[in-house]
Structure 1
Amino acid sequence: MSNETTGLPTVPRQRTTSPSWAAPDPVAQLADRLDDFVSSAVHPDEIAAVLESDGLSDEQIRERYGVHNSFALAEELYARVPRRHPDPGEPPHDPWRAGLPACLLRGLVFALPGFAYVLGARLPAGPRGDLGLPVGTAALLAGALFGWTWNQGLSHRAYAWLGLGDRAAARRCLLLGAPVGALLGALTALAVADGAAPSAVAFAAGQSCYLGASTTLLVLGRERALLAALAPMAAGALVTMVHPLPEPAGPTLLLGSLAAVILLGLREVSSAAKEPGPRSGRGGPRLTASLPYALFGLGSGALVLYAALGDVLAGERHSALAAPAAVALTLSMGPAEWLLYRFRSAGLAGLRSSGTPGTFRRTTVRTGAECLAAYLCVLCGLGLAAAALWPDTPALTAVRLADLLLLGVVLWTGLLLQSFGAVLGTAAVCCTAALAQTLALLTHATDPHGAALTVYGAAAAVQTAVVCTLLGRATAHR
C-alpha cells in the first residue's frame, strides 16, 4: 500500500538500480528484514536503538554495510523505507491504560490521613515559637518532611524490585526500610521538639509509623485495606467538625486506625522474613538510583507545607494544620495520577499515528497542555471547595489561588518527568524552589505570597520547558 493512498507523509526514497549480476545490497536486505519497524519509526534514533540492542558494533556495521556507525545506518534505513502505519488486526497493547476509579481511590487514601490532624489538633498545642507556630508543630513538620523523603526513596526501590519480577525482594525491602524510616522520623521529630509537650512528640512518632506502614500497603497495591483502616478515624474527624467528641474519643480513634494500618502492613511483608534471600551475585537496583526520588519527595513536600502554612508564617492566625491548599493538593493526587496515565497512553498512540518528528512533538505538546489544563481545573475546584467548607480559614483570594495553581503546575509536571525517569532535574528544581521559600521565610520577606508567586512561577516555567523539550522526542516514549 503506497503512501499516496494512505495520505501519510513520506521521506523521499533513494532509488538505485543494479545489474542482475551485482551482489545484493546488504543495506537493502536489512531494510527488507526490518521493514515493519522502520516504516513506523518516527525518528532515526529509534532505529539506532534497535540496531544497538541487536548487538551490532560500529566495527561490524562498517564491515557489513559500509557506513560509519549505527546512527548513520539508521539514517540510511529511515531514508530508504517510506513511513506507513498499517492498521493492526487488534488494538495494540497499552500498558498505560488505567481506570479513573482506581486512581480516585488512591487520591482519597492520600487525603484521609489529613483528618488525623483534626482529631489531634490539641496535641501539638502550646505557646507559639519564633515562626508563629505552636512549638509542637515543628516536631510534626520535621517528622513529616523526613518521612516523605525517606518513603519516596523506599517506594522507588521497592517498585524497582517489583519491576524485576522479584516480589519477595520488594517485601524484604519494605520490611527493613519502613521500620527504619519510622524510627529515624521519630528521632528527627524529637530532635526539634524543643519545649514541646510529650503528647506532640508522641503524635509525631505515630505519624512516622503511619507513613512507613502506609507506604508498604500502597506499594503492594493494598489501597482498599488502607482505606478501611482509615475510615473510622476519618468519620470521627468529620463528626468533630460538626460537634465535639468526648475527650478520650479522638486519641482512641487515632490509635485504633494507626494500629490497624501497622498490622496490615506487617501482614503484607511478614512472610518475607521466612523467604530465602537473593542468590549470591544476583544484581539488583542500585541504592543511589533511589536518591533523586527521595530528594523529589523532600522538595515537593516542603513546597506543599509552605503552601499550607504560608498565611500562618505571614502572621495571620488561623488553623495551621488543615489549610485548604494542602487539602486540595492531596485530594487532587488521584486525578493527577489518572491524567499522567492518559498522557503516557496518548504518547504511545502518537507514536503509531505520527509520520514525522515534528508532527509527534506537536501532538505530544498539545496532549500535555490538555492534561495539565484538566488537572488545574480539578485543583481549582477543590481549592475553592476546601476554602468554603473548612472552618477558620481565610478566603481564597486571587493571589492565593494563583499560588495554588502554579504549585499544581510544578507538582504535576514534576510527577510527569519522574514517570519518564527524568527525576534528577525535577528534584533539583523542587529543592531549589523549596530553598528559595526557606530563605524568604528566614529573611522575613515583606510579601510572603508575592515571594511564593515568584518562586512557583519560575519553577513552573522551568519544568514546563523541560517537559516540552524532553517529552517531545519520540525516543523518550519507547
Structure 2
Amino acid sequence: MSGSLWIGGEEGQDTLPFIPRQRTARSPEGDAVAELALRLEDLIAVAVHPDEIAAIMESDGMTDARIHAVYGHPDSFSLAEELYGRVERHYPAAPAPPPEPWHTHLGSCLLRGLVFALPGLAYVLGAPLLAGPPAEFGLPSGTLALLAGTVTGWVWNQSLSHRAHSWLSLADRPAAVRALRLGAPLGAALSALAAVAAAGPNDLDAAVFAAGQCCYLAAATTLLVLGRERPLFWALLPLTLGLVPAVAATVGPALLLGSLLAAVTLAVLALRGETAGPGPRGAVSPRLAASVPYGLFGLGAGILVLYAALGDLFRHDSTGMVAGPSAVALTLSMGPAEWLLHRFRAESLAGLRATSSARGFRGSVTATVSLCLLAYLLTLAALAEAGTRLWPDAPALSGIRLATLLMIGAVLWTGLLLQSFGAAPGAAVVCCAAALAQTLALLLGAPPEAGLVVSGGAVALLAAMACVLLGRASAHRP
C-alpha cells in the first residue's frame, strides 16, 4: 500500500474498499437507527469496516425485511454504513506486555545475602562461650554441640520453609502461618535438644550458645518466609559491633542476647499479626513428603559451607580460621545467587518466546545458564578475595583453595537451580553425597585435592541433570 490515501477510481480498481463518509448529526430522540447505534456503540466503535457491523446484525437474527420495516434501509449493509458513520472510532489500546513472572530487585536479594552472612559474627561475639579444652578429634571446644544443633536446625527449617512456601503458592497464607506457628517452635526445641545431647561435660557454655543459635534459625526462617527481611536485618545489625575487639570483649554476650531476643520477638509479632484461620475452600494440601528433599538439600549445602569454614580445622592446621573468608563469601554470595536464579528463569522464558525450534531453545538455555553460572562464580571469587584481604592474618587464596571454593559454589548454585525447577530429590542426593564424601575425606586425612575432585564430580552430575531437565520447553512454565 502506498504512503498516501486517495479517493476516486471506478469499482474494481485497486482502491480502499471503503472510505467513511462524513458523519451525520444524531437523529432526533426516538429515531430507531439512533437507538440501535447507542445499543451497539461498543461494537461499532471498534469496527474497521461496515461489513463487520452487518455481520453482527445478521448474527442477531436481523433480516432485511425487518431492517426495512423498522429502520427504513433496504438491507443490513445499507444500515451498517449508516451506523458506521454515526459512531466515532475508538480502537482499544494495544495490550501491555505481560509482567515478567520472575522479576525481582537486586537490592532485595543483596539484603537477603547480608541477612545470611551477619549471623556469622555471632561466633566472634560468642568466642568466650566457646573457649575450653579441645573436644573429640582435636576439634575446638563445643564444636560437636554446634554441629549437632546447626545441622538439625538446617534440615528442619529448610523443610519447614518449603512447606510454608507450598501453602503460599496455593494462595493459602493462613495455612502457611499455621505451619510456621507449629513448626518453628518445634524445630527450635528439637535442634536445641540435639545440641545439648551432643555437648560434652565441659561444654555447658557452648550448649547454651548452640541452643540460642537454634532459636535464631527458627525465628529467621519465619521472618524470611513472611517477607520480613528488613526487620531481621535491623535485628542483626548490632552484631557488626563485634568487629571492634574492645566491644566484643566487653559486651559481646549482651549484643548476642539482644539480637536473639529482637529476632524472636519480631517473629512472634509477625505471626501474631497474621490470620491463621481457614483458607480457601477446596485447596489441595501439599504432601509432607514433598518437603523432605528440600531439607536434605539444606543438610548437604550446610555441610559443604561448614567444610569451607572448618576444613583446615579438621586437618589440624595451626591457622585454624584460614577458611573463614571462604565461608563468609559463600553466605554473602547467596544474595546474588538468588537474583541470578530469577534472571535465568526470566531469560529462559524470553528464549522460549523467541526461538522456533527445540534445538534453538536448548542452545539458548545452555548459553543462559552458562552465563549466569559464570557471573555467580566471578561474584564468589571477588567476595572471597575481598574477604581474604580484610580478614586478619588470612593468607592469599591458593589455587586449590580457590578452585575448591568455586566448585562448592557451583554445586550450591546448580543445586538451587534444579531445586527451583522441582528437581529437588536429585539435587539433594548429589549434594548430600558430596557432603558425605567431603567429610570422609577430612576424617581420613585425605589431601586437599580430594575436596576439589569431590566437588568437581558433583558439579558434573548436577550439570548433566540440568541439561536433561532444562532442555525441555515444558519445564519452563511460569
Asked if structure 1 preserves the Cα contact closer than 8 Å seen for 2:173 and 2:279, the reply is: no
**Equivalent residue runs for 1:48-197 within 5 Å:** 89-197=95-203
Indicate how the Cα distance of structure 1 residues 439 and 247 shifts in structure 2: closer, same or farther if over 3 A, else same: closer
Asked if structure 2 preserves the Cα contact closer than 8 Å seen for 1:116 and 1:254, the reply is: yes
Asked if structure 2 preserves the Cα contact closer than 8 Å seen for 1:319 and 1:393, the reply is: no
- 1:476 — aligned with what? 475
- Matched AA of 1:262: V
Q: Secondary structure at the match of 2:135?
A: coil
- 2:255 — aligned with what? 253
Asked if structure 1 preserves the Cα contact closer than 8 Å seen for 2:296 and 2:432, the reply is: yes
- Matched AA of 2:208: A
Equivalents in 1 of 2:251, 2:189: separation in Å? 27
Deviations 1:230-249 (A, max 9, x none): 11122x11223xxx227541
- 2:449 — aligned with what? 450
Q: Does 2:244 correspond to 1:239?
A: yes
Equivalents in 1 of 2:136, 2:401: separation in Å? 24
Structure 2 alignment gaps of length 5 or more: 1-93
**Equivalent residue runs for 1:57-456 within 5 Å:** 89-234=95-240, 236-240=241-245, 244-245=246-247, 247-271=249-273, 275-277=276-278, 283-320=284-321, 323-445=324-446, 447=447, 449-456=448-455
Q: Secondary structure at the match of 2:293?
A: helix
Structure label with greater radius of gyration: 2
Equivalents in 1 of 2:168, 2:195: separation in Å? 31
Equivalents in 2 of 1:181, 1:254: separation in Å? 21
How far does residue 451 in structure 1 lie from its aligned partner after superposition? 1.2
How far does residue 280 in structure 1 lie from its aligned partner after superposition? 9.2
Equivalents in 2 of 1:218, 1:420: separation in Å? 21
Asked if structure 2 preserves the Cα contact closer than 8 Å seen for 1:149 and 1:294, the reply is: yes
Indicate how the Cα distance of structure 1 residues 335 and 286 shifts in structure 2: closer, same or farther if over 3 A, else same: same
Deviations 1:290-311 (A, max 9, x none): 0000000011111111111111
Q: Secondary structure at the match of 1:135?
A: coil
Equivalents in 1 of 2:213, 2:322: separation in Å? 13
How far does residue 99 in structure 1 lie from its aligned partner after superposition? 1.1
Equivalents in 1 of 2:103, 2:276: separation in Å? 33
Deviations 1:150-175 (A, max 9, x none): 11000000001111111111111111
- Matched AA of 1:257: S
How far does residue 90 in structure 1 lie from its aligned partner after superposition? 2.9
Deviations 1:367-407 (A, max 9, x none): 00000000000000101111111124333211000000001
- Matched AA of 2:291: S
Equivalents in 2 of 1:116, 1:406: separation in Å? 27
Equivalents in 2 of 1:143, 1:320: separation in Å? 21
Q: Secondary structure at the match of 2:100?
A: coil
Equivalents in 2 of 1:357, 1:379: separation in Å? 33
Decide which moves more: 316-325 or 196-205.
316-325
Equivalents in 2 of 1:353, 1:281: separation in Å? 37
How far does residue 142 in structure 1 lie from its aligned partner after superposition? 1.6
How far does residue 320 in structure 1 lie from its aligned partner after superposition? 4.5
- 2:90 — aligned with what? none
Greater RCO, CA 8 A, separation 6+: 1
Q: Secondary structure at the match of 1:444?
A: coil
Equivalents in 2 of 1:427, 1:106: separation in Å? 22
- Matched AA of 2:130: P
Asked if structure 2 preserves the Cα contact closer than 8 Å seen for 1:296 and 1:423, the reply is: yes
- Matched AA of 2:474: T
TM-score (ref. length: structure 2): 0.77
- Matched AA of 2:270: E
How far does residue 252 in structure 1 lie from its aligned partner after superposition? 0.5
TM-score (ref. length: structure 1): 0.77
- Matched AA of 2:377: L
- Matched AA of 1:165: A
Equivalents in 2 of 1:184, 1:372: separation in Å? 36
How far does residue 89 in structure 1 lie from its aligned partner after superposition? 4.5
- Matched AA of 2:193: L
Equivalents in 1 of 2:164, 2:314: separation in Å? 36
How far does residue 219 in structure 1 lie from its aligned partner after superposition? 0.4
Q: Secondary structure at the match of 2:441?
A: helix
Asked if structure 2 preserves the Cα contact closer than 8 Å seen for 1:118 and 1:322, the reply is: no
- 1:462 — aligned with what? 461
- 1:82 — aligned with what? none
Q: Secondary structure at the match of 2:129?
A: coil
Indicate how the Cα distance of structure 1 residues 157 and 246 shifts in structure 2: closer, same or farther if over 3 A, else same: closer
Asked if structure 1 preserves the Cα contact closer than 8 Å seen for 2:164 and 2:176, the reply is: yes
Equivalents in 2 of 1:211, 1:321: separation in Å? 25
Asked if structure 1 preserves the Cα contact closer than 8 Å seen for 2:153 and 2:214, the reply is: yes
Deviations 1:261-284 (A, max 9, x none): 000000111256x74345898631
In angstroms, what is the RMSD of aligned CA positions? 1.8
Equivalents in 2 of 1:275, 1:302: separation in Å? 34
Asked if structure 2 preserves the Cα contact closer than 8 Å seen for 1:418 and 1:426, the reply is: yes
Q: Identity of paired residues, percent?
A: 58
Deviations 1:420-454 (A, max 9, x none): 11100000001111111122233232x1x111011
Indicate how the Cα distance of structure 1 residues 162 and 246 shifts in structure 2: closer, same or farther if over 3 A, else same: closer
Indicate how the Cα distance of structure 1 residues 230 and 192 shifts in structure 2: closer, same or farther if over 3 A, else same: same
Equivalents in 1 of 2:351, 2:189: separation in Å? 47
- Matched AA of 1:470: L
